Amino acid sequence: MMNFLMKSAAALALASTLVAAPAEARWRLVEAGDERKVARSKLVVTAPEDWNRATERPTSRSEIWTTEGTQLTELMFYAKIKDGETLFKRRQRKRNPLPEFSPDMLPTDLVEWYEDTANIVLGGSLFEIVEVQPATLGGYPGVHFRYSYTGGDNVARLGEVRAAIIDEKLYLISFEAPKIYYFDRYITGVRAMMDNARFE
């Protein structure tokens, strides 16, 4: 039990806070230029450079990639999130319920939904939306937003998300990394990946 607590208390990047066992997941190389369908969907992305994908999924609707370990670079793909589902696995259904996705959400609601989820998971309040823009994902209208936050490890991180509701289901790509060095090192490639994502 203590191990579990210590692990939780270490509070890594947002998604890996909730990923069951990233340490035990095996990683497979995705080479620069590789095209892959992600998160068991028809969403296809092209790796801008070498990345590693985890063979274990955080949830059945998501997939996690990294280059340097998830605390330093965390790229998440979520696909086909349906009405009433949450971004992460529900852990404390009653006492700390995560907000549920609704296909009626406006783009601004998607941003707030993500922010609320992060706030509950991180338990803190230093999460801040920096900028929100209209954008497209795979040719569908959606939203692109940037955020910053400090997690339990006191590391300042930046993140960017591209999301769209397509046929009543949510598709979302997120990237986050420490503000110092890692974010800037990878964000250009990640943005290109978000721009070029397409549906097969």
φ/ψ of 177, rounded to 5, equals: -160, 160
Q: Which of 124, 179, 191, 199 binds another protein (CB under 8 A)?
A: 124
For another protein, the closer of residues 33 and 140 by Cβ is 140
For another protein, the closer of residues 8 and 188 by Cβ is 8
Asked if 3 interacts with another protein (CB under 8 A), we say no
Asked if 180 interacts with another protein (CB under 8 A), we say no
Distances (CA, A) of 9 to 142, 151, 152, 156, 166: 34, 10, 7, 17, 36
Residue 55: how many CA atoms within 13 Å on its side-chain side? Answer: 6
Q: Which of 38, 111, 164, 190 binds another protein (CB under 8 A)?
A: 111
Q: Which amino acid is at 31?
A: E
Distance (Å, whole) CA 73 – CA 183? 8
Asked if 96 interacts with another protein (CB under 8 A), we say yes
Segment near another protein (CB under 8 A); pick from 3-11, 37-45, 66-74, 188-196: 3-11
For another protein, the closer of residues 13 and 39 by Cβ is 13
Distance (Å, whole) CA 63 – CA 40? 8
Which residues, 4 to 23, sit near another protein by CB under 8 A? 5-6, 8-11, 17
Q: x/- site string to another protein, residues 75 to 94, per CB under 8 A?
A: ----------------xx-x
Residue 151: how many CA atoms within 13 Å on its side-chain side? Answer: 25
3-state secondary structure of 196: helix
Asked if 153 interacts with another protein (CB under 8 A), we say yes
Q: Which of 39, 42, 32, 38 is nearest to 60 (CA)?
A: 39
Site for another protein, rule CB under 8 A: 1-2, 5-6, 8-11, 17, 91-92, 94-97, 99, 102, 104, 106-109, 111-112, 115-116, 119-126, 129-134, 143, 145, 150-154, 156
